[in-house]
Amino acid sequence: MKHISKQRVYSSLAKIAFWSFMFLGLIFIFFFRSPSSSSSATSDPSRRSLRTLAGPAWEKRVRASARIRSRNGISVLVTGAAGFVGTHVSAALKRRGDGVLGLDNFNHYYDPSLKLARQALLERSGVYIVEGDINDEKLLRKLFDIVAFTHVMHLAAQAGVRYAMENPSSYVHSNIAGLVSLLEVCKSANPQPAIVWASSSSVYGLNTKVPFSEKDRSDQPASLYAATKKAGEEIAHTYNHIYGLSLTGLRFFTVYGPWGRPDMAYFFFTKDILKGKSIPIFEASDHGTVARDFTYIDDIVKGCLAALDTAEKSTGSGGKKRGAAQLRVFNLGNTSPVPVSDLVSILEKLLKVKAKRSIMKMPRNGDVQFTHANISYAQRELGYKPTTDLQTGLKKFVRWYLSYYGGGKKSDQ
């Protein structure tokens, strides 16, 4: 009896051990084979690089896209080229005859079909976008091996102020780790490129003195997004100081326009007004106005190109610094803040639809009450002079929106 029950115990134990192994094995396979499990907004760089590092035909394509076609032209690696600002800047550079190669990870932070449509647009003008992540140093080094880029326009980032509470690690991944990875490759490139990159008006955080000047403090960010952009500015300082990289940060002020970002208020307000859905309009405590220095994309593009054209050469090579290099930070805003409720009134007129307004207290999730740029430094150094007011810019946006989505029907993502 005793013998039999012992045997039974052994066989049950063996069964339990067997099934535990099977179970653990399945978990192991699931985690190691599934694509990026950390977040939907980040992509797996190694997986993409294997697909893109594809031999002589691919290298030829990279070279052709980056080839300079005008006298005194520059060759630019544009990161985030399938993004809103990236697409416009890439197209503008290509139009003047500069060499442009795009890089984008096509993440799913917002509808990737819009990114694919922007990619198709660039493709038609001769700009190739490599699908890859800025954290993939191997891929970046390969691109620098193929092309001696004179400049990098670094626009790849995790954008959006409020999403940082939902997915904080995507901000660290793209805006901090990604920036460091890119600068590591730039620092050891020979020659080193000059780098112009997107910072943000959000670095002014809780400041109350307006308009915001580059000389003002920027050490009280209201969101993790703002904190990662501020960290980027400090990281830029370090790479400039140690390795002689020429670095220019551009603090963009709420950029809007055709081919814009669906996560931004002007964009989803348009979509929801057309659908008859109510739109949340934030107000500050004591019914205080919330306002933004909305800046039209064409003005931003001019600022970006001027920053590239005035960027001095980096002074190091192969990871060594030979002398002091340029380090700049500019506000690129419109200098005329508009209350969010006025933005809605303009949209109502352009769309010929009355909005269902739902006024609500600004949630404490990263927003600031107002932004307002002092642009005198950019005016002096870059000749930057915005010329598009919100009414004019939104008219162009709405025209694009209606033609792209066909009256809002296609926007059901």
Ligand X SMILES: O=C(O)[C@H]1O[C@H](OP(=O)(O)OP(=O)(O)OC[C@H]2O[C@@H](n3ccc(=O)[nH]c3=O)[C@H](O)[C@@H]2O)[C@H](O)[C@@H](O)[C@@H]1O
For residues 202 and 222, is the Cβ–Cβ distance under 8 A? Answer: yes
**Residue 200 binding ligand X, by CB under 6 A:** yes
**Residue 41 binding ligand X, by CB under 6 A:** no
**Residue 262 binding ligand X, by CB under 6 A:** no
Cα–Cα distance for residue pair 154/160, rounded to 1 Å? 17
**Alpha-carbon separation of residue 257 from 54, 182, 297, 372 (angstroms):** 35, 28, 6, 19
For residues 92 and 155, is the Cβ–Cβ distance under 8 A? Answer: no
Q: Are strands 75-79 and 338-339 parallel, antiparallel or unpaired?
A: unpaired
Residue with tokens 């054209």: 309
Q: Which helix (H) or strand (E) holds 23?
A: helix 2-33
User: How many chain residues touch ligand X (CB under 6 A)?
Assistant: 20
Smaller CB separation from ligand X, 243 or 252: 252
**Residue 159 binding ligand X, by CB under 6 A:** yes
Cα–Cα distance for residue pair 385/200, rounded to 1 Å? 18
Neighbours of 268 (CB within 10 A): 17
**Residue 122 binding ligand X, by CB under 6 A:** no
Cα–Cα distance for residue pair 114/322, rounded to 1 Å? 43
Q: Please identify which residue in 161, 189, 245, 311 interacts with ligand X, judged by CB under 6 A.
A: 161
Q: Please identify which residue in 282, 377, 400, 405 interacts with ligand X, judged by CB under 6 A.
A: 282
**Residue 301 binding ligand X, by CB under 6 A:** no
For residues 132 and 184, is the Cβ–Cβ distance under 8 A? Answer: no
Smaller CB separation from ligand X, 181 or 202: 202
Smaller CB separation from ligand X, 136 or 233: 233
**Residue 179 binding ligand X, by CB under 6 A:** no
Cα–Cα distance for residue pair 283/163, rounded to 1 Å? 19
Smallest distance, Å, CB 384 to ligand X? 16
Smallest distance, Å, CB 397 to ligand X? 12
Whether 404 sits among the annotated catalytic residues: the reply is no
**Residue 160 binding ligand X, by CB under 6 A:** yes
Smaller CB separation from ligand X, 128 or 401: 401
- Spot the catalytic one: 109, 163, 225, 296: 225
User: How many alpha carbons lie under 13 Å from residue 225 in its C-beta half-sphere?
Assistant: 21
Which 305-364 positions form the footprint of ligand X (CB under 6 A)?
340, 362
Which region, judged by CB under 6 A, interacts with ligand X, from 83-91, 246-254, 306-314, 376-384? 246-254
Smallest distance, Å, CB 186 to ligand X? 23
Intra-chain end-to-end CA distance of the chain, in Å: 67
Query: Contact residues for ligand X (CB under 6 A)?
Result: 159-161, 200-202, 252-254, 264-265, 280-282, 290, 292, 340, 362, 367, 371
Residues carrying an active site annotation:
225
